[in-house]
Chains A and B, each alone.
Chain A
């Protein structure tokens, strides 16, 4: 069974505790992150939302087939895993990902990305850190539709067309 992130826009206050907890856990240097919170403003109420996004561990990831070293792969739980030992830092995956979820680390010369804390027994650190409980990491079910991965405000899509990669992402709003 694959798992995916649920992002609750109603709950999220945009505080970036998820980003900070992740950066500290993985000792990511300045300018490098596996998760980011993007603020979007628009005319219709509630006029602003905070989108906390990391790798969506897509059903059809754009990053995996483009990697020349096979440094990216999906594990049994559907997580997209990066092997830094194989990575040559060519950054093709970074440019292929429609969600801008992959980051190049100048210090290591490789990319870095969210693996949903695959090695952490308690699940993703970001989820545990969120005091608004706006993030969760759950089994992908029927509610994870393409529509659930899309946010439209003022008639504009705030996220890329989910048909590209079928992200395991559900946005509650």
Chain B
């Protein structure tokens, strides 16, 4: 244990817990560091003030490690503990008066005190940029940091127009308004790495979901009678709602089957309770699903009552005819028997036909639908039910059809649609100026520049965000225009995008303003670091919706500060507002204002497009007029709540909202359910909530099986060559039933010659790659190894513990790791945990923190993610980033990142792979 520090306060990395436990430290907020100085002096001799408040406070809050957002209760002072909130529908799922979190949630508060956090704004001093170039970051003030960002923004607009700047961040009210006000066409997010397959399928088939690309469904596994998984393993990720739901269902007698190339934790649980595991060949799930559909439909084992009520009669008739007449594959013509189709699927998937048919029979309870609530386990974060591969939309579609046949849409024990208070839209309660947003350059009638990734040329949902893949390719090619500045937030881009080497190139090419949390790879490659606030330091009100794992009723969760703010950090709204304010009024570079910079650009580009778009400079007097709350400039307040006071006020004023008239402000809500109120942290609680009603969100004749029905300008859901084959292609085509091998990485594995399919997983204690910054989690879940079947290893002359070289055939990336042998994986696959391979930086010092802060978070350290630097293989590096040409040609509406298409070559390495010890 490292107790060496230079602060004068003898407190080690884990020492903060001891400060907290003795109740010695009193920490005040702030950038002045005065209160922290107090904390340090007390911490040096903790026994002196045993009556003082602890570092962590009594509070209610919302864990934000993953998207489940469980509510927690914290008991500060001596022996700090974090509990699940028993009133929370997820954390209190067992309804025994106690709440529980997952392993990540219990350790979550450590993130706020992680010594690898960036606590102060910094700028790069080394103009050279690269993994081996020390950025030479130096601490600066927020004023200087925002001024640099604003000046660079104005210069970029001068040279490249609005298009020259792009946002790389999760979409939010703030980012959307900033982009609209500045007319930025390029805003890209990460969702194509996760869940877009189902985000395409659900809005296409279920009309209750109004917007394409919406994550509006979630699950209620606890009341299920049969759990069917194709590559789903949220149990293996310890997701709270899933673990509690699955165990609850299994204890109540549910059965299940799991199709997965790796023997997952979910498979383990299903088998332990009498279910089945099938080691399926990667990427062939669709064939098994369609074979099941064929058998169920041919034998009339579906939920006729649900179909009669919710599926349009004509569509059902057409679907029956389609299934009856279709063998799904060449050689299986009209009239092919279900058994013949199962044999075809068995040949593709390597799951015996008898097993496929047995699961089909089990899943539909042999047609007895009374009290039968089966579910296909899908999740918004699992792509097409598990792995993501080219055209895995087919899998998502087939899974949803299987669910519809069982009536498993918006029903207890199945996939359910979100319930939440009808909060007025942000634009409704905080409207932009009457003149509306500025006319963006890219909408100029004669010159449609559009998005850099040319998203409008692809099929599918989630059109607003695009994908990292195409964006990166187009940026590097300057096609069709140049982007030279990125404003990024939250993402550690090199480690959460495809093709790490390509991402590095992009970051080298641009000026990068990074609203960051850790001294990670993304920060290393940036020009300006603007430190983010920890969620544990905030006061917020969070709506319980489909983003929250389970949404049987509408509710709100309160976040009170668990810890006072450390360092000098700001939330994203304040950052965006701060830049906009300076662009309006500051004197930067050549131009005094943002408007002036735009005018200069417009003049320069006059011949090209200004005459074509005379509205370009209209409504551009100020930027901040668009970035308002209640019509006034309140940038500081933006970070205050997920739901603003204006929205609460409007909610309370809505007659049938069910929201109390008196709860019109965050303070009022906090006074009622916070630690100064009843401490429940949740409104309403179980006993006060509106009961869930099966199918309550569905309307008659509003669930579809034909994906072409909703196809129109808004729902570009039909995968087809552009305007070439008409809207009926999919429903009438000879459905191949599995993802066709259209991608080079889709080549078959050959374990005898060392070529394997790549599988990834996440350890229960880890969420994103940033989890690898947590010493405790790395201690418990390392070392990072790559798992291979013993037979395959024997062929290659490899043994347990060998150092191996892994090379991607898709993009030539190479990584080293340590081999672990296990019979619980197919011989043609290898698997690795997601998010390892953090860079081991050189000797760059990152020690701008006052000693007082170091006393709380640990001794000064150099730049990097120290808990895991240099350990394991970076799985992202292996994944091919799809090009625009591929995206158009492959007609993949879900636009998923094809991580499961990757073929890896494994050989023995002469270079030892670094590892950490693990506590077992």
Contact = CB atoms under 8 A, between A and B. Distances in A.
A11 B79 CA distance: 28
B97 to A, nearest CB: 11
A33 to B, nearest CB: 6
A60 interface: no
A152 B780 CA distance: 26
Contacts of B481: none
A58 interface: no
A43 B272 CA distance: 14
Contacts of A133: 94, 247
Given A14-B265, A24-B107, A48-B268, A30 B14 contact: yes
Interface stretch (B182-190, B234-242, B587-595, B711-719): B234-242
A38 B251 CA distance: 23
A13 B102 CA distance: 11
Interface stretch (A122-130, A140-148, A155-163): A122-130
B243 A13 contact: yes
Contacts, number: 113
B689 interface: no
B851 interface: no
Given A9-B272, A130-B100, A131-B243, A106 B1 contact: yes
B920 A131 contact: no
Interface stretch (A15-23, A62-70, A80-88): A15-23
Contacts of A37: 920
Contact of A27 (B17, B235, B244): B17
Contacts of A45: 271
A37 B272 CA distance: 18
B365 interface: no
Interface in B509-550: none
A25 B12 CA distance: 17
A16 B273 contact: no
Interface in B76-114: 79-81, 83-84, 94, 98, 100-103, 106-107
A167 to B, nearest CB: 19
Nearest to B1: A29
B920 A36 contact: yes
Given A31-B919, A129-B100, A130-B100, A20 B272 contact: no
Nearest to B83: A128
Contacts of B247: 11, 132-133
A16 B103 contact: yes
Contacts of B107: 20, 24
B53 interface: no
Nearest to B265: A13
Contacts of A46: 268, 271-272
A134 to B, nearest CB: 8
Contact of B919 (A25, A33, A48, A132): A33
A20 B106 contact: yes
Interface string B259-275: 00001010011011100
Interface in B753-797: 764-765, 775-776, 779-781
Interface in B461-499: none
Interface string B827-844: 000000000000000000
A21 B106 contact: yes
B128 interface: no
Contacts of B238: 13, 15, 17, 131
B919 A36 contact: yes
A31 B236 CA distance: 24
Nearest to B14: A29
Nearest to A103: B919
Contacts of A17: 101-103, 106, 238
B725 interface: no
A55 to B, nearest CB: 16
User: Among the interface residues B103, B765, B776, B822, which one has the most CB atoms of the partner chain A within 10 A?
Assistant: B103
A139 interface: no
B563 to A, nearest CB: 15
B456 to A, nearest CB: 43
B663 to A, nearest CB: 30
A11 B268 CA distance: 10
Q: Give the dominant DSSP class at A's interface.
A: loop
B261 to A, nearest CB: 15
A21 B100 CA distance: 11
A47 B250 CA distance: 18
B317 interface: no
B824 interface: yes
Given A20-B776, A20-B780, A48-B268, A125 B81 contact: yes
Nearest to A31: B919
Interface size classification for chain A:
35 or more
Nearest to A105: B1
Interface string A38-56: 1101010111110000000
Given A30-B775, A131-B101, A41 B822 contact: yes
User: Among the interface residues B81, B106, B269, which one has the most CB atoms of the partner chain A within 10 A?
Assistant: B106
A131 B84 contact: yes
Contacts of A13: 235-236, 238, 243, 265, 269, 764
Contacts of B620: none
B18 interface: yes
Nearest to B98: A128
Contacts of A25: 79, 81
B79 to A, nearest CB: 7
Nearest to A173: B272
A27 B885 CA distance: 54
B69 to A, nearest CB: 15
Contact of A24 (B17, B84, B765, B917): B17
Given A10-B273, A31-B919, A133-B247, A15 B268 contact: no
A6 to B, nearest CB: 14
A41 B267 CA distance: 14
Contact of A132 (B236, B243, B776): B243
B346 interface: no
Interface string B887-920: 0000000000000000000000000000001011
Contact of B263 (A16, A33, A48): A48
Contacts of B103: 15-17, 20
Nearest to A18: B103
Nearest to B251: A11
A98 B84 CA distance: 34
A107 B1 contact: yes
B823 interface: yes
A39 B265 CA distance: 11
Contacts of B265: 13-14
A43 B102 CA distance: 29
A15 B102 contact: yes
Contacts of A30: 1, 14, 775-776, 779
A17 B823 CA distance: 26
Interface in B22-81: 79-81
A15 B775 contact: no
B776 A23 contact: yes
A3 B94 CA distance: 24
Contacts of A23: 776
Contacts of A131: 84, 100-102, 238, 240, 243-244
User: Among the interface residues A31, A39, A120, A131, which one has the most CB atoms of the partner chain B within 10 A?
Assistant: A131
A156 B356 CA distance: 34
B675 to A, nearest CB: 19
B623 interface: no
B122 interface: no
7 closest cross-chain pairs (CB), A and B: A15-B764, A131-B100, A17-B103, A46-B271, A15-B238, A46-B272, A27-B17
11 contacts: A13-B243, A15-B102, A15-B103, A15-B238, A20-B103, A21-B106, A47-B271, A47-B823, A107-B1, A128-B98, A132-B243
Given A24-B776, A27-B14, 20 more contacts: A15-B238, A15-B243, A15-B764, A16-B781, A17-B238, A19-B780, A20-B106, A20-B780, A24-B106, A25-B79, A25-B81, A29-B12, A43-B823, A48-B824, A128-B83, A131-B238, A131-B240, A131-B244, A132-B244, A133-B94
